[in-house]
Structure formats: structure tokens, C-alpha cells
């Protein structure tokens, strides 16, 4: 091999441009994986489709009087739930990269340290968007009406902001767990109470009174209520602001922790 790369002068530190380029290259990797495995995105949406079927058609009548009414209530929540569950994929894919040694390869290259994390997260945002689209289309097929198109776009954007913040928690778990199983265990024990203990399936005012404070403080309740109202053409300022504040808090806590953990991962 030629000695072209033997730089006699110290190489300049990586600027923002180079770091971004490295991050985008690894985003492309995530997208190639979606292309290679479209069933993975479909897999992500099978559970929500089950939830739609189960709740709307089986429980709907009992919960809301008619399945159509419950469909209109629950569908925005099921979109939220889908994406919240999907954030766990970030942790799973990081964990699998570490286990397979792909991370070691990246870390031995002269590239931005942040690139593997950025690539994983940006790629996952695309994945989240796809799963939102799939569930929304299914909703429309069974008669769900998107009253306001700008409102729907805003709702999707809000979901993605929240998912972007939450996926850093998933990343942290993925970087810390010893195995894929560990990540899954953690995800399940956290995600079920978080989504069912929100206004996704049952409105807060129909919950037992002792539980209500918990439901009302759950960020997913605020996100769900905001999405519901936005799609219906409203502009629920307080829910939107609360969701954004929660997103900022998640990001501020978990992003530095994930990066710290990533840097000292050995």
C-alpha cells in the first residue's frame, strides 16, 4: 500500500461540515437497511394495527358506545404509541452494532465520534415517519377523518420532535445494556405503563381519581391530547407547550448521558 495517508503534518480537527457529512453517510446506512428490510417497518406497524383492531372493533363499543366514535378517539393515540414504541429500535440497533463489532470499526476510523449516533438517530426519524404514515393511512381506510391538513402536519411534526428527544433515552439504554434482551426487557417494562397510563386509550377524566394525577403529568398524555386536537383543527397551546418542554427535558438529560456513555464505552 502506498504511504499517501502518512500525513507528516498533524491533521486538522474535524469541522462541523465533516462531522455532518460523516453523520449523513451513516444515516444513508440506516436508510439502506430500511430498503433491505422493508418488513422491519411493516413489523413496527403490526402491533399498532393489532391495537387498532383490538381496541376499535372489540372494545370500542363498550368503551365509547360505538366503534366509530372510539376509532376517532383512539387513533391519534395509537399513532403516538407506535412512535413511542419505535424509539426503542434506536437502542436495539446501537446495541447490536456494539455486539457485532461494527462500532469498533467506526471508532477506529478517522471520522467524527458523533457520526454513528447521529446516523442511527436520523435514520430512525425516517423510520418513525414511515410508521406514522402507515398507521394514518390505515386509519383513513377505516374511516378516520383528518379534519385539518395543516393541523395533521403539525401533529406529525410534534410527534417527531418528541420521538427525537425520547430516542436518546433509548440510545442510552442501548449503550449500557449487556444484551439485546436487556434492552427489550427495559423497553417493555417502561413503555407499557407509559403508554397505557396516558390518555391514549382512555381519557384522563374516566380514570380512577387516584390515578388521574399520574395520567395528567405523563408527557404522553399531553402529546396525545395535542395530536388529537391538532388533527381535529384545534390549536391546544398548553398541551403543545407542555410536550415541547418535556421534549427539551428528555433531550437535555439523555443526550449528554448517551454521548458520555458512548465516548467511554469500551
Partner 1 sequence: MSHAIQAEGLVKRFGETKALDGVDLTARTGTVLGVLGPNGAGKTTAVRVLATLLRPDAGHATVGGYDVVRQSFEVRQLIGLTGQYAAVDEQLTGVENLMMIGRLLGLRGREARRRAESLLERFRLADAGGRRTSTYSGGMRRRLDLAASLVGRPTVLYLDEPTTGLDPHSRNELWDIVRDLIGDGVTVLLTTQYLEEADQLADDIAVIDHGKVIARGTPDELKVQLGGQVLDVRPADRADLPAVAKVVAAVTGAEPVTAELAVQAPVTDSAMLAAVVRGLDEQGVAVGELALRKPSLDEVFLALTGSPAEDTPGDTKNETMEGAA
Task: Please say which residue, 66 or 179, places its beta carbon nearer to partner 1.
Answer: 179
The pairs formed by 55-63 with CB atoms below 8 angstroms and a separation of 24 or more are 55/201, 56/142, 63/201, 63/202
How many CB atoms are located within 10 Å of the residue 3 CB?
6
Side-chain-side CA neighbours of 256 within 13 Å: the count stands at 4
Q: Which is nearer to partner 1, 105 or 212 (CB)?
A: 105
The rounded distance, in Å, linking the Cα atoms of 147 and 133 is 16
As measured in angstroms, the least distance from the Cβ of 136 to partner 1 is 27
- Please identify, using beta-carbon distances, which residue of 41 and 215 lies nearer to partner 1: 41
Using the minimum distance from each CB to partner 1, give the nearer residue, 19 or 148: 19
**Given the complex with partner 1, which of 29 and 191 has the nearer CB atom?**
29
Which of 22, 239 has the CB closer to partner 1? Answer: 22
For 35-55, give one letter per residue: b (16+ CB within 10 A) or e.
eeeeeebeebbeebeebbeeb
Minimum distance from residue 112 beta carbon to partner 1 (Å): 9
Query: How near is the Cβ of 215 to partner 1 at its closest, in Å?
Result: 39
Residue 239 burial (C-beta neighbours within 10 Å; 0-12, 13-18, 19+): buried
Least distance to partner 1, CB of residue 5, Å: 6
As a whole number of Å, the end-to-end CA separation of the chain is 30
Q: To the nearest whole angstrom, how small is the minimum distance from the Cβ of residue 266 to partner 1?
A: 5
CB of 265 to partner 1, least distance (A): 9
CA-CA distances (angstroms) from residue 76 to 60, 118, 240? 15, 28, 15
Which triple of cell numbers denotes residue 258?
A: 448517551
Contact residues for partner 1, defined by CB under 8 A: 1-7, 10-11, 13-14, 22, 25-26, 28-29, 32-33, 36-37, 100-102, 104-111, 115, 266
Amino acid at each position: 500500500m502506498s504511504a499517501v495517508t502518512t500525513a507528516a503534518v498533524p491533521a486538522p480537527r474535524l469541522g462541523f461540515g465533516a462531522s455532518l457529512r460523516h453523520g449523513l453517510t451513516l444515516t444513508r446506512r440506516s436508510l439502506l437497511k430500511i430498503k433491505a428490510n422493508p418488513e422491519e417497518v411493516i413489523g413496527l406497524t403490526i402491533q399498532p394495527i393489532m391495537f387498532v383492531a383490538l381496541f376499535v372493533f372489540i372494545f370500542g363499543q363498550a368503551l365509547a358506545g360505538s366503534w366509530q366514535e372510539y376509532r376517532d378517539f383512539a387513533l391519534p393515540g395509537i399513532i403516538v404509541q407506535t412512535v413511542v414504541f419505535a424509539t426503542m429500535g434506536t437502542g436495539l440497533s446501537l446495541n447490536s452494532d456494539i455486539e457485532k463489532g461494527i462500532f469498533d470499526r467506526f471508532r477506529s476510523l478517522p471520522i467524527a465520534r458523533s457520526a454513528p449516533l447521529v446516523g442511527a438517530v436520523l435514520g430512525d426519524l425516517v423510520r418513525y415517519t414511515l410508521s406514522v404514515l402507515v398507521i394514518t393511512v390505515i386509519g383513513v381506510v377505516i374511516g378516520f377523518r383528518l379534519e385539518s391538513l395543516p393541523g395533521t402536519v403539525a401533529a406529525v411534526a410534534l410527534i417527531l420532535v418528541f420521538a427525537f428527544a425520547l430516542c436518546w433515552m433509548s440510545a442510552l439504554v442501548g449503550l449500557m445494556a449487556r444484551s439485546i434482551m436487556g434492552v427489550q426487557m427495559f423497553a417493555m417494562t417502561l413503555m407499557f405503563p407509559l403508554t397505557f397510563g396516558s390518555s391514549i386509550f382512555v381519557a384522563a377524566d374516566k380514570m380512577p381519581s387516584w390515578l388521574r394525577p399520574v395520567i395528567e403529568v405523563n408527557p404522553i398524555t399531553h402529546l396525545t391530547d395535542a395530536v388529537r386536537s391538532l388533527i381535529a383543527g384545534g390549536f391546544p397551546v398548553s398541551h403543545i407547550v407542555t410536550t415541547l418542554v418535556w421534549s427539551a427535558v428528555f433531550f437535555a438529560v439523555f443526550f449528554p448521558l448517551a454521548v458520555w456513555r458512548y465516548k467511554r464505552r469500551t
